[in-house]
Chain A
């Protein structure tokens, strides 16, 4: 069993729709949770960073963490074609250690 499970997609949505992404994990030692966006052939770009359970909002992006269920989510409101990318959930056990990536979900937002 992988430490972090993420549906690879692709997930296709029409412009303006809400994109819903999620990951599950098995190691309860994970304490820091991040979402990265990666465009084709580019390096990952940090979108959201959370430490505790609950919600965090930043513009059109909302990240949710449920440590009791070992489940994290990312919602993108009012999706745009420029949101078409691969979204990676990333977890780590401490503030300086290695990052554990999910496989990434490819999102396609159609005009």
Chain B
């Protein structure tokens, strides 16, 4: 079992650009959530996708959007990047049966 995989692992973007991050969930999981983790802080919930729909959303602006595909993989898109968007972006997947969430290694985004 490959677990949760994210790509790319590192990314450097310029202010104002757009970025797309990708996530493949753990086998058997149908729910994907995205989190932003700033340096020295706990992860903050961005949104969750289930059955290709955004089921729940945290306090993030509309610049953050996502998508879930029929194979349960997911993308996180961020438009008009700001310096403050620099963070580790984590994808977590879970199954229909429980709250246990498994995280990927994350994508470290640096905005310059």
Contact = CB atoms under 8 A, between A and B. Distances in A.
Contact of B33 (A44, A46, A98, A103): A98
Q: Interface size bucket, B side?
A: 20 to 34
Contacts, number: 68
Contacts of A69: none
Given A43-B90, A101-B43, A94 B99 contact: yes
Nearest to A2: B42
A94 B99 CA distance: 7
A49 to B, nearest CB: 5
Interface in B52-111: 55-56, 58, 88, 90, 92, 94, 96-106, 108
A88 to B, nearest CB: 6
A102 B94 CA distance: 20
Given A41-B108, A44-B43, A88-B42, A99 B92 contact: yes
B28 interface: no
Given A97-B56, A98-B58, A32 B99 contact: yes
Interface string B27-56: 000010101000011111100101000011
Interface residues of A, number: 26
B25 to A, nearest CB: 13
Interface of B: 4, 31, 33, 35, 40-45, 48, 50, 55-56, 58, 88, 90, 92, 94, 96-106, 108
25 contacts: A32-B99, A34-B99, A36-B103, A41-B88, A42-B105, A43-B90, A44-B43, A44-B90, A44-B103, A49-B100, A96-B48, A96-B94, A96-B99, A98-B33, A98-B45, A99-B35, A99-B45, A100-B45, A101-B35, A101-B42, A101-B44, A103-B40, A103-B41, A103-B42, A104-B42
Interface of A: 4, 6, 8, 32, 34, 36, 41-46, 49, 88, 92, 94-104
